[in-house]
Structure 1
Amino acid sequence: MALAVGLAFAGGALAELPERQQREALRVCADGNNLPFSNQAGEGFENRIAELMADDLGVPLTYVWAPQVMGFVRNTLELRVCDVIMGTPAGYEFVQNTNPYYRSVYSLVVPEDSDLVATRLSDPAFEGRRIGVVAETPPTVPLRRSGARIQGYPLMVDTRVRAPVRDAIEDVVSGNTDGAVLWGPLAGYYAARQDPSLKLIPLVDDDSDATLDYRITMGIRHGEPHWKDWINDFIDRHQEEIDAILTEYGVPLLDRRGRLLNAQAGGDT
């Protein structure tokens, strides 16, 4: 995701400098090995949306690559070497959030022939099942309450070295786990790339106390109202194109009321 979990606080004097008025390029802060979001080959959906933004601005697209681990904001956006992070959760205090450009939800990934078809974490069907979950993510506690046997994967990793979500999906494919509950964009992308593809079940009916759906914004520096206004206008004008890109990558999308927009989100891209 970039859900930006664990990104370090990066306040201070740098954020007090005047807002840039001229942009010779769209300078994006991104992880270079973090599909389906971004990579250095430009294959992620955030790369695609950034290309759309650069075209709209009429400027070249450039990147500052850094693994999205502790210190990402401090070492990129707040050093002013780049001007926007493409995916940050609404309310993330260490950046100024734009309007959301998509909303997604944690999803269950299971083999196509599985009888586990739960759309809520409190479903009794989870009892005794071995379920893969990334450590410290919201589904962990409700799944334990439901009696699931948790197979954990690390949260904060250097994506150049490890790919815990891919590991979780491979464990479902091999039968080491009965399923995995993962952030929607990751779940949809990797589920569709198995042969045969895995079943994606967005947890839209969840009644636990966990927050499973998130609105995703673009993150910019505080004190840049004109830049924020431009990006909000861009999102508004290009929302249909953005939705089409996200659907192509298998992202389960929710509308403003939390209802699933693209029922076939787990299909091939």
Structure 2
Amino acid sequence: MPAWAKTLRRLTIPLLLGVSLAGSAGAQTSDLVSNTALRVCADPANYPMSAKDESGFENKLAEFVAAKLDLPVQYTWYPMATGFIRNTLRAKQCDIVMGYAQGHELVLNTNHYFTSVYTLIVPDTSDLAAVEALTDPALKGRRIGIIAGTPPAAHLARHGLIGKSKGYNLVVDRRHESPAVDMLDDLKSGEIDAAVLWGPLGGPLVKTDYPGFKVIPLIKEELPPRLFYRITMGVRIGEKVWQRQLNSLIRRNQDEINALLNEAGVPLVTDLGTEVMEISN
């Protein structure tokens, strides 16, 4: 597996979905899955996705799911870094991780419930606001913020943009360091001219804290590595009954899921990453 793919999977954003369970809401799906609470494995400091004060958009989605299931939400908090799955899902402390890239080998993936893409973020008054792709000549000579080791870095290198870019750490303890916020603060101060961020991270941050910025989904990049990813929920390997129930929930409530994510500012794209989805709330 390419290094950038492994990196993306470490970066995967936790996203809980709004779904409803057919039949008995509290029905136990296996000997391991709780029938008394929706037990969610989550990072306590991964805002705008998850946060211990439950201010993240996945927390709001968790409340939606719990209401549908007629269950309370119960969190197991652990930093999403090395050991996250081992110490949460595999340790049977919780039953579901909200937001794993499709095909992750450490979990059993549900069907994907949204597709998103990396984005270019610029001030809406900048001459870069008309840029639609990293191949645009207007980006030449500009200082671009990039999370080191993420897939867009390969594109910056290919297009001769990496030399003046400013790198930000990928693997950090978000309780003490927030590279995405640091990057957007640098963009606000003029330290950098543009920022490249994973959409479910950058989009909501811009919506809540940086209203003067424009978020441009990078859907026109044709060469690898791809910049769009399908996001699933992760359950314990072997929990096929639980997986099938969640797949049904996703299918039955996709419009509500889309609306919740859209309200949060998550840029949603089609499954092939070629078009932005227009969602009406």
Normalized against structure 2, the TM-score is what?
Answer: 0.85
Q: Output the amino acid matched with 1:73.
A: I
| Structure 1 residue 52 displacement after superposition | 1.9
CA RMSD, aligned part only?
2.0
Deviations 1:109-160 (A, max 9, x none): 0011111232222222221110000010001121122222210000011110
Indicate conservation of the 8 Å contact 1:32/1:40, yes or no: yes
1:49 aligned counterpart, secondary structure: helix
Q: 2:10 aligns with which of 5, 12, 22?
A: 5
Q: Gapped runs of 5+ residues in structure 1? A: 8-17, 265-269
Indicate conservation of the 8 Å contact 1:121/1:207, yes or no: no
Give the corresponding residue for 2:229. Answer: 214
1:5 aligned counterpart, secondary structure: helix
Deviations 1:200-244 (A, max 9, x none): 111111123121000000000010111001111111111111111
> Using a 3 Å threshold, how does the CA distance of structure 1 residues 225 and 209 change in structure 2: closer, same or farther?
same
Give the corresponding residue for 1:229. Answer: 244
Provide the rounded CA distance (Å) in 2 between the counterparts of 1:67 and 1:187.
19
Provide the rounded CA distance (Å) in 2 between the counterparts of 1:92 and 1:50.
22
**Structure 1 stretch 155-164 or stretch 32-41: which is displaced more?**
32-41
Q: 2:159 aligns with which of 125, 146, 158?
A: 146
> Using a 3 Å threshold, how does the CA distance of structure 1 residues 43 and 21 change in structure 2: closer, same or farther?
closer
Provide the rounded CA distance (Å) in 1 between the counterparts of 2:172 and 2:34.
36
Provide the rounded CA distance (Å) in 1 between the counterparts of 2:48 and 2:11.
19
**Structure 1 stretch 53-62 or stretch 30-39: which is displaced more?**
53-62
Q: Gapped runs of 5+ residues in structure 2? A: 1-6, 13-29
Provide the rounded CA distance (Å) in 2 between the counterparts of 1:173 and 1:45.
24
Provide the rounded CA distance (Å) in 2 between the counterparts of 1:179 and 1:215.
25
Provide the rounded CA distance (Å) in 2 between the counterparts of 1:74 and 1:195.
36
Give the corresponding residue for 1:93. Answer: 105
Normalized against structure 1, the TM-score is what?
Answer: 0.88
Provide the rounded CA distance (Å) in 2 between the counterparts of 1:157 and 1:72.
13
Give the corresponding residue for 1:14. Answer: none
2:253 aligned counterpart, secondary structure: helix
2:116 aligned counterpart, secondary structure: strand
Provide the rounded CA distance (Å) in 1 between the counterparts of 2:133 and 2:31.
45
Provide the rounded CA distance (Å) in 2 between the counterparts of 1:195 and 1:82.
34
Indicate conservation of the 8 Å contact 1:122/1:208, yes or no: no
Percent sequence identity is: 45
Give the corresponding residue for 1:261. Answer: 277
Provide the rounded CA distance (Å) in 2 between the counterparts of 1:120 and 1:6.
22
Q: 1:187 aligns with which of 181, 185, 202?
A: 202
